[in-house]
Amino acid sequence: MMAEALIKSGLAEEPENDSSPQLASVDERMRYVLTCLKQENSLKRAYDYVWIMRYINEEHITGMGVYFYSVKSFRDYVTQYLGITDVAGLSTLSRYYSSGKGNHPEWTFTDTKDATERLRRLNVAKRFSVIWLHE
C-alpha cells in the first residue's frame, strides 16, 4: 500500500532491475521483518519501533525506497497499513526519537547514560537490517 501511494504521489518509482526489493513487496517485507523482531523479542519496548524509523531514514538500506517525514507518518504506516498494534503512542515515539543524536552506529541518547541500553537500541536497528537484507 505504501509503495503504491509513493508511486502515485511521484515520490518513488518502480525499480528497474531485480537487485532491489520490488516496491509492491516492501509492505509485506516490512511486516515480515517486524514480526520476526517481535517473535525473537528484539522489540522489548513499545517505543523500540522508533529506532527502526531512525535507521531507515538514515538510508542505511540501499534500494529500500522508503523515508518517513515524521514520527506520525511512521506510526500510521506501522499501525494502519501493517496492522501492528503494540506500538507506543505518538508522544512517546516522538520523545524517544528526539532523544537520539548522530548516525548509526554512533547514536547517542539524551534520555539515558546506560551503555547497555544504548547498545540494545543500536542492536534493534542492526537486527532489522540483517533480517531485511537476508530474508
Q: What is the pLDDT of residues 36-65, one digit of tens each?
A: 999 999 999 999 999 999 999 998 877 777
Q: What is the pLDDT of residue 66?
A: 81
pLDDT per position as a tens digit, 72-130: 999 999 999 999 999 999 999 999 999 999 999 999 999 999 999 999 999 999 999 99
Whose cell is 494502519? That residue is: 80
All three cell numbers of 12: 518513488
d(Cα 24, Cα 30) in Å, to the nearest integer? 11
